[in-house]
């Protein structure tokens, strides 16, 4: 056994740490987790190297070995090292991000039943309910539920006990006081993935009913073959006419239950409860993991209600994996020639087993998703693996359900709403080699699938792929590197590719696959640009909505077609201004004007979340002349309500969508025709496929063009093109009314003409002149501190170093106050670093962080953002 190991510990330091390996421990392995002492703490780290080189200091021993087989495969370790190197990120923090197994020392309390408790339980059973129902019935019910749960003598963790019985802390306290239950300290290294929670349906059924239950998915869904898929709410509409989920699920449940309601006639179930009951009824042992239940798009509280009613039982099981018993299904798409050609190229690249990056550039509605799904099926058929990355907003419960229907047990879905335990469970399933298909947001790029053949990045231009905290990696770029390391194919898909990607595709680095037309020859929507300066001159009114847009909305509503209106600003009023002193009300933590939210009747900071009551007088000078100015989506919704009182209007933004279920609810209401008009921020622009939307209005969404950000034009072009792409996806052609104060700006003009090529060429010329990506690399270095003097002094130290150090081919701008000089209570100064040579930029940044450390600038206060997307 080697004497030492170097461990990557999750701390903001660009180094690994050497520990000795005591004889009495199991042998650790590279890529496995160990517990080590680190500055008075115990931390879980990853072994980066095993060796016999005696360090100069006395190495502390590791405390515990958690994995004797690598948790991170050699391939993933290599990827982690690359990320640490490329993004100048601490290796320990990188590896922690890649491995969602939250092993840590945690205080865990467990409970077991005592002799006295068993007696009490027996007594209660014989006495019956008459005596118990007198005082505090719910409290007592809970006590007996807890005792029942513990009756078989095992020790149950507090969290599990409380979720399965609904008991409050008070109830547990009472039981301890009565000595009916004992408490045990289970504190240990908590390894989140040892157990999973399983829900089981408890029902009494008439004899014979069981025989009707068919174990697997039915034939009915296959009988309705899938037609062509539009690129859809990323995946949602793999089918068009009949959404896959509905057909398959409906048939599935009818087979299983004979469409009978819950058999206990005295219990009425609401739709959500019925969904869970129906689902469980057709599962093996009538049981499913909570993770699987969560794909049903039913609120969490529904399950708790069923547990309380005694219809569903929850328990913990060892994390062996519950299979649904379903088989992946073959999809039949009617492809356009372009789709077919793209698919064939992807499959051929996969078969070559060498690194091949591709850009799938397809206009909105051209059926990219169908190509992805078919390519993934082809990979699966060969027994190999594929990863599909989707933007945050794309992974709704319905999409997840569709994926389960298509790929059955072969798919693992990783979305941001998973708890740590659920994430760990999915990760273990993947690591065990049981799933060959992984679909998820950014971090799914680290999924430990076997024999990775294909990585797909849907909407590759989407900003949510960039992580805005350490490690600040770009999921798309890591995907390309991962494919390279596994000799796989990688497909970046978008209607509006980023400049970087399109540049690579037109300079021979990536293969370019194009879908130039919408499926079924549907036309792209006609875009009408309204000059709002002209509108003001004619009406002398500072209106938010132009007369043209109002007219068009009225027409659609009359024809019972659906409308979307984009206003990319949250809240009611964007700022509160005092007419007396001229000040806006600013956040106390950030140098940013606060936004008025009417529903909450509060001002909210969109950067740190700080809230305060809406002021009647100026907080600075007490003047009563405070004005609420600027229009956000909330106010626009109000205005539309009063303009079209008969219309059913909903809003989609981060204030109305708190969880995945909210998004799902609004989208299915829109799909089902229960909403006439949807107002929202950029959330409405992202991939939703609603056939009856025939008009898209764009309001005040060109403000970004005046931001001091070299990506402003690109972002505006992308947003406008994407939102325009929501119109006319069904039988009726769509129309877009685009209001702007910059009608001559090329981003507006090319978006109106659906001319990506034209936009790219113009934008590329500008980037080339200015030495911006893709012609140079840009990194942002932010020095931050809660003390202004520190932030100033440290940025001064680095500024001096940059001046004195000869950095060949590296240009440094700054230090300058960041665009938001104070953010989340920290003062911020920054440097913009540009270079045509990535290696030289990387070397400069590395030397700078070393100098910073030598000058006692804490590593955590020096943020290095390589390939920065946000320069705020
Ligand atoms: Zn004032
Ligand atoms: Zn703030």
Q: Rounded CA gap, 388 and 493, in Å?
A: 11
Region 682-706: mean pLDDT is 87
pLDDT at 216: 37
| 778 CA distance to ligand 2 middle (Å) | 27
Average confidence (pLDDT) over 111-138: 75
pLDDT of amino acid 238: 40
| Most confident by average pLDDT, 155-169, 223-237, 686-700, 760-774 | 760-774
C-alpha of residue 365 to centroid of ligand 1, in Å: 51
Distance from the CA of 616 to the center of ligand 2, in angstroms? 20
Quote the tokens at residue 571: 């809240």
The Å distance, Cα 605 to ligand 1 centre, comes to 19
**207 within 8 A of 301, measured Cβ to Cβ:** no
Give the pLDDT confidence of 206-242 residue by residue, as tens digits.
444 443 333 333 333 333 334 444 444 444 444 333 3
Q: Which of these ranges, 97-106, 487-496, 545-554, 659-668, has the smallest mean pLDDT? A: 97-106
**Dist. CA 595 → ligand 2 center (Å):** 10
CA of residue 746 to ligand 2 center, whole Å: 34
Inter-residue contact 751 to 529 (CB < 8 Å): no
- Segment among 117-126, 691-700, 835-844 with least mean pLDDT: 117-126
Q: Which two tokens stand for residue 269?
A: 């179930």
- 817-840 burial: b if 16+ Cβ within 10 Å, else e: bbeebbbbebbbbbbbbbbeeeee
Residue 253: pLDDT above 70?
no
Q: Buried b vs exposed e over 596-618: b needs ≥16 C-beta within 10 Å?
A: bbbeeeebbbbbbebeeebbeeb
Q: How far is the CA of 579 from the centre of ligand 1 (A)?
A: 7
Beta bridge partners of 389: 440, 457
Q: Does the pLDDT value for residue 568 go beyond 60?
A: yes
Distance 584 CA to ligand 1 centre (A): 8
What is the 540 CA–ligand 1 centroid distance (Å)? 29
Give per-residue pLDDT as tens, 589-601.
999 999 999 999 9
Q: Which ligand is nearest to the CA of 588?
A: 2
Q: How far is the CA of 465 from the centre of ligand 2 (A)?
A: 24
How many whole angstroms separate alpha carbon 178 and alpha carbon 158? 18
Identify the three-state secondary structure at position 455: strand
Residue 481 and residue 79 in contact, taking contact as beta carbons nearer than 8 Å: yes
Place of tokens 């027994």: 383
Q: First and final CA of the chain: distance in angstroms?
A: 50
Cβ(697)–Cβ(553) below 8 Å:
yes
Distance (Å) from CA 576 to ligand 1 centroid: 10
CA–CA separation, 144 and 167 (whole Å): 10
SS3 673: coil
Residues in the chain: 872
Closest ligand by atom to 621 CA:
1
Q: Whose atoms come closest to the Cα of 826: which ligand?
A: 2
CA 871 to centroid of ligand 2, rounded, Å: 17
- 370 three-class SS: helix
Q: What is the distance in A from the centroid of ligand 2 to the CA of 586?
A: 8
407-453 pLDDT per residue, tens = 988 999 998 778 777 788 888 889 988 899 999 999 999 999 999 99
Ligand 2 centre and the CA of 853: distance in Å?
Answer: 29
Distance 581 CA to ligand 2 centre (A): 22
Distance from Cα 412 to the centre of ligand 2, integer Å: 37
Calculate how far, in angstroms, residue 609's C-alpha sits from the geometric centre of ligand 1. Answer: 23
pLDDT of 237 reads: 40
Ligand number with the minimum distance to the CA of 585: 1
**How far does residue 471's CA lie from ligand 2's centre (Å)?**
23
pLDDT at 393: 78
- The alpha carbon of 621 and the centre of ligand 1 are apart by a number of angstroms equal to 4
Q: Which ligand is nearest to the CA of 823?
A: 2
pTM: 0.79
pLDDT of 15-39, one tens digit each?
999 999 999 988 999 999 999 999 9
Which own/partner pairs from 636-642 qualify as long-range (CB within 8 Å, at least 24 positions apart)? Answer: 636/544, 636/545, 636/565, 636/567, 636/679, 636/699, 637/679, 638/572, 638/598, 639/544, 639/545, 640/553, 640/565, 640/677, 640/679
Q: What's the alpha-carbon Rg for the chain, to the nearest Å?
A: 29
Q: Do 238 and 247 touch, CB atoms closer than 8 A? A: no
The pLDDT tens digits of the residues spanning 617-635 come to 998 899 999 999 999 999 9
Instruction: For the chain, give the percent of residues with pLDDT over 90.
Output: 61
Closest CA to 405 of 334, 332, 331, 329: 329
Top-confidence residue, 529 or 192: 529
Query: What is the distance in A from the centroid of ligand 1 to the CA of 628?
Result: 13
Q: What is the pLDDT of residue 785?
A: 97
Residues 535-559 have a mean pLDDT of: 92
Q: Which residue has the tokens 């190229």?
A: 345
Question: What is the predicted pLDDT for the residue at 209?
Answer: 40
User: Which ligand has its closest atom nearest to the C-alpha of 587?
Assistant: 2
| Amino acid 234: pLDDT | 43
Instruction: Order the strands of the 64-65 sheet from edge to edge.
Output: 17-20, 4-8, 41-51, 33-38, 64-65
Ligand 1 centroid to residue 626 C-alpha, Å: 7
User: What value, to the nearest 5°, has the Cα angle with vertex 603 and ends 597 and 605?
Assistant: 105
Distance CA 572, CA 323 (A): 48
Give the pLDDT confidence score for residue 233 in this predicted structure: 41
pLDDT reading at 773 higher than 90 = yes
Output the CA 605–ligand 2 centroid distance in Å. Answer: 5
| Residue whose C-alpha is closest to residue 20's, from 42, 40, 41, 37 | 37
| Burial class (CB within 10 angstroms; exposed 0-12, middle 13-18, buried 19+) of 850 | exposed
Please tell me the number of the ligand nearest to residue 611's CA: 2
Q: Is the pLDDT of residue 556 over 70?
A: yes
**Ligand 1 midpoint to CA 273 (Å):** 54
Ligand (nearest to CA of 582): 1
- Please tell me the distance between residue 601's alpha carbon and the centre of ligand 2 in angstroms: 17
Kindly give the distance from the C-alpha atom of residue 603 to the centroid of ligand 2, in angstroms, as a whole number. 11
- Computed over every residue of the chain, the mean pLDDT equals 86
Q: What is the pLDDT of residue 658?
A: 80
Q: Are 60 and 68 in contact (CB under 8 A)?
A: no
Strands (E), 538-623: 562-566, 575-578, 595-597, 602-604, 611-613
pLDDT in tens, 330-356: 777 889 999 999 999 999 999 999 999
Q: Are 695 and 563 in contact (CB under 8 A)?
A: yes
Q: Distance (Å, rounded) from C-alpha 273 to C-alpha 303?
A: 7
d(CA 567, ligand 1 centre) in Å? 29
Which residues on neighbouring strands pair with residue 783, listed in sequence order? 829, 862
Contacts of residue 134, Cβ cutoff 8 Å, sequence gap at least 6: none
- Over range 273-296, report the average pLDDT: 81
More confident residue, 749 or 232: 749
Nearest in space to 391 (alpha carbons), one of 543, 253, 233? 233
| Contact by Cβ (8 Å): 725, 743 | no
Model pLDDT, residue 275: 84
Closest ligand by atom to 584 CA: 1
Q: Ligand 2: distance of its center to the CA of 375 in Å?
A: 45
Give the whole-angstrom CA distance, residue 75 versus residue 596.
49
Q: How far does the centroid of ligand 1 lie from the alpha carbon of residue 498, in Å?
A: 44
Dump pLDDT digits (tens) for 182-197.
Answer: 988 675 655 544 566 7
Rounded-to-integer distance, Cα 366 and Cα 515, Å? 6
What is the pLDDT, as a whole number, of residue 204? 61
Q: How far is the CA of 87 from the centre of ligand 2 (A)?
A: 27
618 CA → ligand 2 middle, Å: 18
Residue with more model confidence, 489 or 129 = 489
Please state, in angstroms and rounded to a whole number, the distance separating the CA atoms of residues 637 and 632. 9
What is the 591 CA–ligand 2 centroid distance (Å)?
7
Q: How far is CA 7 from CA 18, 28, 154, 209, 450, in A?
A: 6, 11, 37, 58, 25
Measure 593 CA to ligand 2 centroid, in angstroms.
8
Distances (CA, A) of 350 to 355, 389, 445: 9, 17, 18
* 513 touches 342 (CB < 8 A): yes
Per-residue pLDDT tens over the stretch 43-52? 889 999 999 9
Q: 590 CA distance to ligand 1 centroid (A)?
A: 19
Which residue in 736, 710, 707, 733 sits closest to 722, CA to CA?
A: 736
Q: Give me the sheet containing 777-785, strands edge to edge.
A: 810-823, 826-835, 777-785, 862-866
Looking at the CA of 605, name the nearest ligand.
Answer: 2
The Cα 347–Cα 342 span in angstroms is 9
- CA–centroid distance, 558 to ligand 1, in Å, is 46
Find the ligand nearest to 590 CA.
2
Ligand 2 center to 604 CA (angstroms) = 8
Average pLDDT of span 536-549? 90
Asked whether the beta carbons of 725 and 365 are under 8 A apart, the reply is yes
| Contact yes or no for 355/408 (Cβ under 8 A) | no
List helix spans (H) across 229-360. Answer: 244-257, 271-281, 290-294, 300-308, 337-352
User: Residue-wise over 125-150: b if at least 16 C-beta within 10 A, else e?
Assistant: eeeeeeeeeeeeeeebbbbbbbbebb
pLDDT value at position 285? 79
How remote is the CA of residue 823 from the centroid of ligand 2, in Å? Answer: 6
Proximal ligand: closest to the CA of 617: 1
Q: Cα(818) to centroid of ligand 2, in Å?
A: 15
Q: Residue 39 C-alpha to ligand 2 middle, in angstroms?
A: 33
Number of the ligand closest to the Cα of 619:
1
741 CA to middle of ligand 1, Å?
A: 30
Distance of alpha carbon 515 from alpha carbon 160, whole angstroms: 50
Cα-to-centroid distance, 822 and ligand 2 (Å): 9
Tell me which ligand sits closest to the C-alpha of residue 578: 1
Sign (positive or negative) of CA dihedral 135, 136, 137, 140? negative
Given this model, what pLDDT does residue 128 score?
57
In this prediction, residue 543 carries a pLDDT of 86
Ligand nearest to the CA of 624: 1
Q: 383 near 351, Cβ under 8 Å?
A: no
CA angle 642, 526, 639 (to 5 degrees): 10
């Amino acid at each position: 056994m080697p004497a030492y190991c170097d461990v990557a510990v999750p701390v903001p330091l660009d180094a690994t740490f050497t520990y000795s390996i005591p004889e009495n421990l199991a042998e650790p392995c590279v890529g496995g987790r160990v517990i080590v002492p680190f500055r008075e703490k115990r931390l879980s780290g990853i072994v980066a190297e095993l060796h016999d080189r005696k360090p100069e200091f006395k190495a502390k021993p590791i405390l515990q070995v958690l994995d004797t087989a690598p948790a991170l495969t050699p391939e993933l370790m290599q990827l982690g090292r690359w990320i640490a190197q490329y993004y100048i990120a601490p290796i320990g923090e990188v590896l922690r991000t890649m491995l969602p197994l939250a092993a840590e020392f945690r205080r865990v309390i467990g409970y077991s039943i005592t002799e006295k408790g068993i007696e009490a339980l027996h007594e209660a059973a014989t006495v019956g309910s008459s005596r118990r129902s007198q005082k505090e019935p719910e409290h007592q019910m809970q006590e007996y539920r807890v005792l029942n749960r513990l009756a078989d003598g095992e020790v149950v963790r507090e969290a599990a006990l409380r979720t399965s019985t609904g008991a409050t802390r008070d109830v547990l306290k009472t039981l301890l006081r009565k000595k009916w239950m004992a408490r045990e300290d289970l504190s240990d290294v908590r390894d989140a993935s040892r157990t999973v929670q399983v829900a089981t349906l408890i029902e009494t059924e008439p004899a014979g009913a069981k025989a009707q239950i068919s174990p697997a998915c039915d034939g009915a869904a296959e009988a309705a073959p899938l037609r062509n898929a539009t690129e859809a709410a990323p995946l949602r509409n793999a089918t068009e006419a009949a959404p896959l989920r509905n057909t398959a699920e409906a048939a599935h449940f009818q087979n299983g239950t004979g469409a009978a309601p819950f058999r206990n006639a005295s219990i009425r179930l609401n739709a959500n409860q019925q969904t869970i009951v129906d689902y469980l009824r057709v599962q093996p042992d009538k049981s499913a993991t909570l993770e699987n239940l969560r794909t049903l798009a039913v609120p969490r509280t529904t399950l708790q209600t069923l547990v309380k009613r005694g219809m569903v039982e929850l328990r913990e099981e060892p994390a062996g994996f519950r299979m649904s018993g379903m088989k992946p299904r073959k999809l039949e798409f009617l492809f356009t020639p372009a789709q077919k050609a793209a698919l064939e190229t992807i499959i051929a690249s996969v078969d070559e087993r060498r690194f091949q990056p591709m850009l799938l550039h397809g206009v909105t509605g051209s059926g990219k998703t169908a190509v992805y799904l078919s390519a993934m099926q082809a990979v699966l058929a060969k027994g190999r693996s594929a990863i599909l990355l989707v933007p945050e907003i794309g992974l709704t419960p319905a999409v997840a359900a569709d994926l389960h229907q298509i790929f059955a047990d072969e798919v693992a879905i990783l979305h941001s709403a998973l708890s740590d335990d659920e994430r760990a469970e999915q990760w273990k399933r993947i690591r065990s080699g049981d799933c060959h298909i992984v679909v998820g947001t950014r971090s799914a790029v680290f999924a430990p699938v076997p024999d990775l053949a294909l990585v797909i990045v849907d909407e590759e231009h989407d900003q949510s792929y960039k992580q805005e905290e350490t490690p600040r990696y770009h999921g798309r770029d890591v995907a390309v590197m991962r494919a390279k390391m596994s000799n796989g194919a990688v497909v970046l898909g978008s209607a509006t590719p980023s400049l970087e990607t399109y540049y690579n595709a037109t300079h021979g680095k990536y293969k370019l696959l194009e879908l130039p037309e919408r499926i079924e020859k549907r036309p792209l929507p006609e875009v009408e640009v309204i000059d709002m300066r002209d509108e003001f001159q004619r009406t002398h009114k500072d209106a938010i909505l132009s007369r043209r847009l109002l007219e068009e909305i009225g027409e659609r509503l009359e024809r019972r077609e659906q409308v979307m209106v984009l206003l990319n600003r949250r809240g009611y009023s964007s700022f509160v201004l005092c007419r007396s002193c001229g000040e806006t009300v600013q956040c106390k933590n950030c140098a940013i004007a606060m936004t008025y939210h009417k529903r909450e009747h509060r001002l909210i900071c969109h950067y740190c979340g700080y809230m305060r009551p809406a002021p009647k007088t100026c907080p600075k000078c007490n003047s009563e002349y405070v004005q609420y100015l600027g229009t956000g989506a909330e106010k626009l919704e109000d205005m539309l309500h009063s303009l079209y009182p008969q219309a059913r209007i909903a809003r989609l933004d981060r204030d109305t969508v708190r969880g995945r279920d909210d998004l799902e609810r609004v989208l299915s209401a829109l799909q089902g025709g229960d909403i006439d008009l949807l107002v929202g921020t950029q959330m409405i622009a992202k991939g939703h496929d609603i056939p009856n939307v025939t008009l898209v209005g764009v309001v005040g969404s060109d403000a970004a063009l005046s931001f001091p950000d070299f990506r402003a034009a690109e972002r505006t072009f992308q947003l406008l093109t994407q939102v325009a792409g929501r119109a006319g996806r069904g039988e009726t052609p769509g129309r877009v009314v685009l209001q702007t104060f910059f009608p001559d700006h090329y981003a507006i003009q090319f978006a109106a003409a659906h001319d990506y090529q034209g936009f790219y060429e113009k934008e590329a010329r500008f980037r080339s002149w200015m030495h911006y990506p893709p012609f140079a690399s840009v990194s942002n270095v932010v020095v931050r501190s809660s003390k202004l003097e520190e932030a100033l002094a440290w940025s001064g130290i680095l500024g001096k170093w940059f001046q004195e150090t000869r950095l060949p081919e590296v240009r440094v701008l700054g230090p300058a106050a960041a665009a938001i000089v104070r953010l989340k209570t920290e003062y911020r100064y920054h440097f913009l670093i540009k270079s045509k040579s990535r290696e030289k930029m990387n070397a400069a940044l590395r030397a700078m962080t070393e100098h910073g450390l030598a000058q006692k600038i804490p590593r955590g206060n020096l943020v290095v953002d390589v390939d920065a997307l946000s320069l705020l």
